[in-house]
Amino acid sequence: MLVLNRALYYNNLNEAKNLEEKIEQMLSQQIEDVMQEAEAESTVTKKRPLPSLFARRMCYILRQP
């Protein structure tokens, strides 16, 4: 219901497009930050735990049955 309410609020196509662009920019920045953190971690020694969000999520996914 929240999504529908938001959609009705942003019924103007230009407002919706602007919101889409802002969200895309924010997500792109977050992805870039996570990837840079993971890249920096890639140079650490093998037996050291990797603290980045990317590393933690990757380990979580790989441990799933």
What's the whole-model pTM score? 0.54
More confident residue, 21 or 47: 21
**Cβ neighbours of residue 10 closer than 8 Å, sequence gap 6 or more:** 16, 19
Over residues 35-63, mean pLDDT? 77
Contact 40, 25 (CB under 8 A): no
Measured N-to-C along each axis, helices 53-63 and 13-41 cross at an angle, to the nearest 10 degrees, of: 80
In the predicted structure, residue 24 carries a pLDDT above the cut 70: yes
How many other C-beta atoms can be found within 10 angstroms of the C-beta atom of residue 62? 7
